[in-house]
Structure 1
Amino acid sequence: MTLQFTGYHGTNLIAAKNIVSSNYDISKGDDEWMGNGVYFFINGLSSKPEEQAKKWAIATSWNNQKKIYEHKSYCTINSLIEVEEDNFLDLTSEDGIEVLSYLYDKFEKKIKKLNVRFKPMDGLLINLARGEGILPIDVVKGNFYIKFAKERTKKITLRTANSTICTVYKPSDNIVSSKIIEIGDIKDEIEQGN
């Protein structure tokens, strides 16, 4: 069975044009929330993932060292994501959490050798499972607490998730189409309080 999601990705205008013309580059690293992949906001905890993508684009444009927004414009991209059910890991479900627990048990010795302690390791576990061919995980969905501009500037940290996101490991295999749905001025949004 094929599953479909509409994902919303927030970025700057230059990156958005590159994405639409040639597809996404993936984020890589064991510190990524759900392993290597392209990250999207999707319907779930929020009914407005496109707004969250916009807020993310604005928040990540801020350069904390220079105290400036590095881009003048934000951009929101809408992408249609398709994945076979067998290649989908849903960390918002009991079954998905059991899979993650199984992966921890499987890789516990390896994690101890890597000396990974006291930090989230969801991404590490998913990358290990992919790298060792244990599970064919193409798309992962999870609920997370995301710090947008307001949370960053006011130093708000909560444990309660506020977003449902998914990551796509191989964009060329699982992203059917992408289009820019909104372009805006970051300065205007900041002045309006968004």
Structure 2
Amino acid sequence: MVFSFDGFHGTSFDSAKKILSNNYELSIGDDEWLGDGVYFFVSGVSTKISELAEKWAITQSWDNEKKIYKYKDYCVLYSNIQVKESEYLDLTIEDGVEILSYLVERYKDKIETIGKKMKFYDGLILNLARGEGFLPLEVVKGNFYIKFAQERIERINLRTSNCTICTVYNPNKNIISNSIKITGQIK
């Protein structure tokens, strides 16, 4: 069985042009929400996924240290994501959470040995499972609370998930098509 997702990725207009010509670059690091990969907003907690990607593109443009926008022109890309059932982990359902809990137990000692001090371990655990070939993961989906511009400005901090995201570890394999969905300019 093959799962198919509509994914939306918010970024700068310049980055969107590079993505369309060369495909996506991975976000790398154990502190990434779901480990290494390209991140997309997908249907789940919200059906307004292109709007969430647009809010993300605008939020990410702000440089909090310099108090300026890093870019003014933004873009939301639409991508069709396809993945085999055996290479997909859905953390929005009980079975997926049980698998993650099992991975936590499996890697608990290794994490202590590594000595990483992190706030959240999801990305590290998923990277370990993939890196060791324990799980042949290509796409992982989960529910998260993301602070967009308004939440950051108003210092709103909730625990209730406001979006569903997925990460794609191998865009050349699992992203079937890309196109521009929304363009805009930050005022």
Whether these two folds match at TM > 0.5 is yes
Partner of 1:168: 168
Question: What runs of 5+ residues in structure 2 fail to find an aligned partner?
Answer: none
Q: Are 1:115 and 2:115 an aligned pair?
A: yes
2:185 maps to which residue? Answer: 185
| Consecutive unaligned residues in structure 1, runs of 5 or more | 188-194
1:65 pairs with 2:100: no
Q: Secondary structure at the match of 1:15?
A: helix
Q: Which amino acid aligns with 2:25?
A: D
Q: Give how far 1:156 is off.
A: 1.1
d(CA) in 1 for partners of 2:116, 2:100: 16
Distance in 2, Cα, partners of 1:149 & 1:105: 36
Distance in 2 separating the partners of 1:126 and 1:43 = 22
After TM superposition, the score normalised by the length of structure 1 is 0.94
Alpha-carbon displacement from aligned partner over 1:49-105 (angstroms, at most 9, x marks no partner): 000000000000000111111111110000000000010000001110011011111
> What's the CA shift for 1:37?
0.2
Q: Calculate the TM-score normalised by the size of structure 2.
A: 0.98
Alignment of 1:81-96 (within 5 A): 81-96=81-96
Q: Secondary structure at the match of 1:46?
A: coil
Asked if structure 1 preserves the Cα contact closer than 8 Å seen for 2:31 and 2:118, the reply is no
2 CA distance for matches of 1:59 and 1:118? 24
Alignment of 1:1-194 (within 5 A): 1-117=1-117, 119-187=119-187
How well do the aligned residues superpose, as a CA RMSD in angstroms? 0.9
Amino acid at match of 1:104: V
Q: Which runs of 4+ in 1 moved over 6 A?
A: none
- Tell me how far apart the structure 2 counterparts of residues 116 and 104 of structure 1 sit (CA, whole Å): 14
**How many residues end up aligned between the 2 structures?**
187
Amino acid at match of 1:67: K
Q: Output one character per residue of 1:22-56: Cα deviation in whole Å (capped at 9) or x when no partner.
A: 10000000000000000000111111000000000
Residue matched to 1:192: none
Q: Provide Cα deviations, 1:126-176, integer angstroms capped at 9, x if missing partner.
A: 000001010000000000000100011111111111000000000000000
Answer yes or no: is the 8 Å Cα contact 2:77–2:182 preserved in 1: yes
